[in-house]
Amino acid sequence: MNGYTKKCLITGGAGFIGSQLARRLLLQGCEVTVIDNLFTGSKGNIYDLMQNPKFTFLIHDVTQPFWGQFDEIYNLACPASPIHYQHNPVETIKTSVLGIMNMLELALKTKARIFHTSTSEVYGDPDVHPQPEYYWGNVNTIGIRSCYDEGKRAAETICADYLRQYGVDVRMIRIFNTYGPCMHPHDGRVVSNFIVQALQNKNITIYGNGQQSRSFQYVDDLLDAIQLYMALPRAKVERFFSEKGIAVPVINVGNPGEFTIRELAEMVLALLPESKSKIINEDLPKDDPKRRRPDITLAKELLGWEPRIKLSEGLPKTIEYFRALIKGN
């Protein structure tokens, strides 16, 4: 429709990924409403958007129902780092389960297309490597990380059932380790941890022997995938997954480049030669996955997408963000 402005809702929109998604959608001419309870999000991430007449920010907890008329709903609300989700595990699983139910109810009533951010944590400590979408995972259901892992797994189940039972147009992405500007400096994630420690000349803490591996995706690549996925016609999405024999539209999005944690620490120090930090080892946390790497075959086929930004390119940009943040404080 000529002259129509698309209306988008982002839950968790004051967070690391949500704030940058909001900025993109506004630049593309959309009306954007962000809701966030600011448990891990920050108003500082969206201050520059506040004067935009097409932007609305509301403090709201997604565990409570929310009403509005939207074309697209992006459900990003949930603490995503162990420090934050283990601080309040009950609230974490409520955010995953009740949050997605409230957003799916909204999508059902308003005929909105809904996007849900799941996580590579649904695979747990995987026995299959790299991890494809059809792998069911190896997850401890009652461990200290389970509030997040199982909450996200349950959210996928709810999305699948709203699709099958009510026909809601839902798309899901399992996000693998993502980094970049606007990360919380004290969220306990490995990239932000190492950079902040190095900038402050504190010892860089490696848990275990540092040989556990991760795949690091720069945030711009993730945002590209999200927007490509949401732009696809529903019929094309349904046909693709039907032909693949996959019941629901879920895809991995991550960078298949695999690095050990020790390699990451050494890369950070190489980029900060003035740092006096040294690498030290501490005990490995319980249920910490030993290997993590996405199989992105489906994303390549469905979206024509693959990550463009190498770790060697994204790390310097992230370091500069944290350098300015720490200097400003």
Residues with a catalytic annotation lie at 148
- Determine the Cα–Cα distance for residues 182 and 17; give it in Å rounded to an integer: 8
Give the angle subtended at the CA of 136 by the CAs of 104 and 83, to the nearest 5°.
70
Contacts of 22 (CB under 8 A, 6+ apart): 10, 13, 32, 34, 46, 49, 55
Burial of 208 (0-12, 13-18, 19+ CB in 10 A): middle
8 A C-beta contact, residue 4 and residue 16: no
Q: Is 88 helix (H, G, I), strand (E, B) or coil?
A: coil
Tokens 């480049």 sit at which residue? 257
Nearest to 306 by CA among 221, 230, 226, 240: 221
User: Rounded to 5 degrees, what are φ and ψ at 21?
Assistant: -65, -40
Cα dihedral: 251, 253, 256, 262 (round 10): -130
Cα dihedral: 89, 92, 93, 94 (round 10): 120
Q: Pairing mode, if any, of strands 72-75 and 7-11?
A: parallel
- Determine the Cα–Cα distance for residues 246 and 242; give it in Å rounded to an integer: 6
- Determine the Cα–Cα distance for residues 300 and 252; give it in Å rounded to an integer: 10
